[in-house]
Amino acid sequence: MGLQFVRFKDFSCLVPAAVVAAGAFLPSAALAQSQIQTFDLAAQPAAAGVRAFARQANIEIVLASSAASGRRTNAVQGQFKVRRALDRLVAGTGLSVRSFDGKVAVLVASDDAEVAQIEDVVVTGSRIPRPELVNPMPVSVTRMDEALALGRISVADALARDPVMGVGQNLGSASTGWDAGISAVDLRNLGVNRSLTLIDGKRRVSSSARSSAVDVGMIPVGMVDRVEVITGGAAAVYGADAVTGAVNIITKRDIEGVNLSATTGISGEGDAGEHLISASTGGRFADGRGRFVIGGSWSQTDPLLYVDRFGMQNFLSYRANLANTGINDGEIGEQPFLLARPHLA
């Protein structure tokens, strides 16, 4: 039985005459793919090889005449399943099987046959997602493990990398005042009372004696997973005090075993040392229905005084003028205080 050559638009459809004459007797697609058939095909031009294969496999093959031109199919000899034999027929020929349902196979020219060589690639634009800039509620995320790798040993130090933080957000360097020693969040440098600090989305009792500021230095570093900073008017959903934004500290949900870490460092001048020891542990109980997380951290920052870095020669102070006996002593021009240097007699 010969093959009928039928043209359809830009494609050539190679159909066995037996299929056209008695299509009702074709086995099901699944049965046709699972049956092992005997093939005896020699290497030959693609057009002839595809026709011969279609006749021996009793299937239809669709192939564009332009794709078959100038190509040769491989020899297929032996017993194979139809799909495996078809793959062997076109392997390395520049043709590939686009689809095969057990009755009809579609062959196309392989994309690998014509690979364009590009010397330079110039990117003139990008579509990198920036949700912190385009979302209705801009959010910037600081991961604590990345901050620790950069030497930021506290939540306050990690937040200091965010440009939205005010210059004076860390009050730990203050030596006087009501809030000496605490590290409070100050978004956009508009004051700690206008910034809201949350832990896992919940409010925390203030650490300040005269404001609603929360000391983020009291949160164990080993239990912090990431810190989300929400700015803009959308932060008002957290409350009226989130005027400049809200800082949400997300803790680790699942800790297995015991995690210990220690960090220490000094400034470039060899002073102002910082030390941190953090520990956290957790586990599950009641057959996994419950879990617990416990953690703590200890940190110390060595004080850095003005005289330690610059010495006393630049330190000025006021001293009482003992020569001034009062405003009624008859002397004019006497000053009650003198500007003096402590190292001078």
pLDDT at 27 over 70: no
Count the Cβ atoms, other than its own, within 10 Å of residue 129: 8
pLDDT digits (tens, 9 = 90+) for 134-186: 666 678 888 998 888 887 878 888 888 888 886 444 444 444 456 667 788 88
First to last CA, the chain: 124
Q: Which domains are present in the chain?
A: 3-110 (3.55.50.30), 131-258 (2.170.130.10), 307-340 (no CATH)
127-136, 193-202, 209-218, 334-343: least confidently modelled range: 334-343
Greatest Cα-to-Cα distance within the chain, rounded to the nearest angstrom = 140
Supply the pTM of this predicted model: 0.48
pLDDT digits (tens, 9 = 90+) for 213-254: 888 888 888 889 999 998 877 677 788 888 888 899 999 888
What beta strand segments (E) does 193-273 contain? 195-199, 202-203, 224-231, 245-251, 257-265
Packing angle, helices 46-57 and 82-90, rounded to 10: 170
For residues 297 and 318, is the Cβ–Cβ distance under 8 A?
Answer: no
Q: Pairing state of beta strands 95-100 and 104-109?
A: antiparallel
Walk across the sheet containing 3-8 and list its strands: 3-8, 11-16, 60-63, 104-109, 95-100
Listed residue (221, 220, 159) closest to 185, CA to CA: 159
161-165, 276-280, 331-335: least confidently modelled range: 331-335
